[in-house]
Chain A
Amino acid sequence: MIYLDNAATSWPKPPEVLKAMVDVLERAGGNPGRSGHHLSVEAARVVYEAREDIAHFFNISDPTRIIFTSNATHAINIVLKGLLKPGDRVVTSSMEHNAVMRPLRSLEKHGLILDVVPCASDGSLDINDIAKAIDSSTRLVVLIHASNVVGTMLPIAEVAPLAHRTGALLLVDAAQTAGVIPIDMKISRIDFLAFTGHKGLQGPPGIGGLVIGDHVDTSQIEPLMRGGTGSQSELEEQPEHLPDKFESGTPNIVGIAGLRAGINWIMDRGIETIRAQERKLTRTLIDGLSNISGIQVHGTHDPEKTVAIISFTATGRQVSEIGLMLDEGYGILARVGLHCAPAAHKTIGTFPEGTVRLAPGVFTTMDDITTAISAIEKVVGL
């Protein structure tokens, strides 16, 4: 079997991640900080150590500005629903995933003013177009760091100063980049970073987070959920202190332990090493597919400008048919269709049919890629 669906969820996971998850249940099974006995304290230590490692990984000074969530979608919703008011203006791109688009379209019905800046057919965003869209009435700029459909990266670092110049904040959806592209909150001046644990960060599904920049005033953000925090229990109102303001209910300590192990595994291996390997695989995949008659590779063909996500269509072949033949005939697992991103498919011209998406990961070898290319050649040539 060749697993090329790492953009949906990475698989397999490093053994260290599985071990950390079993270990936390065996050794630290209490409810973090709630009860005060030693198992509860041990669980709280696991959560705190993870916070510190994640803060270090994304380079923010204050670990309490790491908010654990169930996934990137949850983190994005905290910012969009907590920060924005009717009448606020939001600038976003036409490459966004529904994790961003659906909450924004819903808020639009309640008075939000939404400006979707069109991207080019390769998924790239012209910095001049977004510069024109951002003005003094813009409250928030929301951008996907790299497209989940074609892998194309958006110019986050260049957008940040444009947003800040007029007092807007920048939310980045890093679902496809955290763990494979170095992200430094201080250098890139991102205000909110939403990430998920189960893709590039090598953790399990069900854990993600929101990183809030050191300078962002959190009193302006209403929590998405309110409830028990294990702190200030005498109050019937939600506490303002971080991270508790945004973390109600018992946290997913098994997921947090797995996420931390995944991040440490990445740091040991080196994110630049991971990136270099994925770039090589991407180059080979784009070149190999482009040489097959009848195949169109979408997105930019420059591996420097993408993460390891490649989308293609084939003349006269339905994508669902290709996906099924690759799975059943060759054991190659891809994802076909719209990838929860109708706006992105409209932008690249593949709506409503969608594409076949191939996403190598850290355990994909060059042999896997060459085998996949020849299998695809056979399938589309039939």
Chain B
Amino acid sequence: MIEYGVILFHTTSSVMRAEKLLAKEGFAIKLIPTPREFSSDCGVALRFDWTQCQRIKGVLDTAGVEIAGIHQL
């Protein structure tokens, strides 16, 4: 079974930018409603394969996309 992680962002624009960047790099990702336990935010979060956490973080850091939080599901 795949273990998932979720990345939270400050704005919807950042989520969209992250999705586009990561999809282009071939990562298996999905946008999901932000899990309630991590934020009271009403928006969207990015779910990913937890084993790819460091690589994904690297892509976002390089592109300057600000991350609000990363959690294991």
Contact = CB atoms under 8 A, between A and B. Distances in A.
A41 B13 contact: no
Interface in A44-82: 44-45, 47-48, 51, 63-64
Contacts of A41: 31, 44
Nearest to B20: A48
Interface string B30-49: 01111000011111110000
Interface string B1-34: 0000000011111111101100000000001111
A232 B12 contact: no
Contacts, number: 76
Contact of A231 (B10, B17, B19, B32): B10
Given A64-B11, A241-B10, A241-B11, A37 B41 contact: no
A232 B31 contact: no
Contacts of B66: 241
A37 to B, nearest CB: 7
Contacts of A233: 40-43
Nearest to B31: A41
Q: For this complex, into which size category does the number of interface residues on chain A fall?
A: 20 to 34
A232 B10 CA distance: 7
A118 to B, nearest CB: 42
B44 A44 contact: yes
Closest 7 CB pairs of A and B: A36-B33, A33-B12, A48-B16, A234-B40, A241-B10, A233-B42, A230-B43
Interface of A: 32-37, 40-41, 44-45, 47-48, 51, 63-64, 229-234, 239, 241-244
Interface of B: 9-17, 19-20, 31-34, 39-45, 66
